Structure 1
């Protein structure tokens, strides 16, 4: 369940066709075409990047599926070699390099409601990933709505499974300069909330920027 496959990438950031730094707590939405390689770079370490993928051709019908991905690989964690599957059983992306070691796809995204339930009543107004997702899709032209915000991947987030099948949120295992890289197996829309969480150690209680890079 906890195996790690550390693989560095041969790609040169200077040759990327797209680069953008996403500030702490901000959303990001962008297209990645089939055959392109997409990297999320943890600039300062221990930052969680909540991510959902959609088919560019049919975004309201086909999207990333945590259930299909876990079932296909027989592992609860994501790392080099993992194929990210859609709800229709199609490969969306393949993780080709990973210097962090593993990534969570069970813990879900923080929301106003989960912050209130997990932490305190007065945490409900705090900025959260679900609101970031909704902000990004509302400003996009893909026709996505609240119903399309499905269970996500938490890149760089450490959510160990307990022996009795529960989940715990622990200090991150990433560090400054670590990254995860994936090749698109179809044209996809990438939706990211650069997590603003301040109530658990997933961001070391200090949200920081991440950088997005794309190569042809």
Structure 2
């Protein structure tokens, strides 16, 4: 299938949109060192949003890959990871801020560098939140797609450089979502060079969910979250749908 919508985020770029239920959203990294920080909300009621602790606890994991789902704080599935050639995506590392970006890559500002200034994840995500009538109080911990972070036995988080060039991950929206994205460095990336990898976002119609769906059957907790989602969607359907 040909994507009905496609946009490429250059390094430091940001983007957000409401995306309907039943879409495939494919993220593709154009180079190594890519990191796309993503926040997810239920579009009709953004007070329901991606919940990192519940998603990890329910699926007994500390990272995301194909078969995992991104659960809301209401025990429903916002999106599923249906395909993944990267193999590991970090849910724990958070996002960069202005002070950290200046310290690691050197001070820049729009006033001096114009569009060449180096954005932080916090700034990008905040701007996109405001576009949808949300505020920094609505900020949560993002999923850092294409970044690998492992947790040592003592709790230390360690960034693992990995080749992301040409790798992709596909999300299937299980309800209408608000997707907020920032192509900014992972805060634990030790490199002193601001990443130069673009990330493409392509949206197309998803295939119907089948009985043997990998995400539904990943674990009992996933199935319960899907059932919660299906019930909520059915109750909100119009008479002619």
Alignment correspondent of 1:53: 40
8 Å Cα contact 1:47/1:203 also seen in 2: no
1:211 paired with 2:203, answer: no
- Residue of 107, 124, 129 corresponding to 2:93: 107
Spell out the pairing of 1:1-216 with structure 2 (5 A cutoff): 12=1, 15-59=2-46, 61-115=47-101, 127-138=119-130, 140=131, 142-171=132-161, 173-196=162-185, 200-201=189-190, 205-216=194-205
SS at match of 1:81: coil
CA contact (8 A) 2:158 2:188 kept: no
What is the alpha-carbon distance in structure 1 between the residues aligned to residue 178 and residue 153 of structure 2? 36
Displacement of 1:127 in angstroms is: 2.5
Given the two structures, how large is their TM-score scaled by the length of structure 1?
A: 0.83
Q: Secondary structure at the match of 1:70?
A: helix
Equivalent residues of 1:46, 1:203 under 8 A apart: no
- Structure 1 stretches lacking a partner, 5+ long: 1-11
Note the alpha carbon deviations across 1:140-176, whole angstroms, 9 max, x for none.
2x211111111110000121111211112231x2422
Do the aligned partners of residues 186 and 174 (structure 1) sit closer, same or farther apart at CA in structure 2, a change above 3 Å counting?
Answer: farther
Give the equivalent residue in structure 2 for 1:6: none
Q: Once superposed, what is the RMSD of the aligned Cα atoms? A: 2.4
Contact 2:65 2:89 in 1 (8 A): yes
Give the distance between the partners of 2:138 and 2:172, measured in 1 at CA. Answer: 23
The structure having more radius of gyration, on CA atoms, is 2
Q: Distance in 2 between matches of 1:156 and 1:177?
A: 11
Q: Secondary structure at the match of 1:67?
A: helix
Q: How many equivalent residue pairs?
A: 197
SS in 1 for 2:150: coil
Identify unmatched segments of 5+ residues in structure 2.
110-117, 206-241
Distance in 1 separating the partners of 2:191 and 2:21:
31
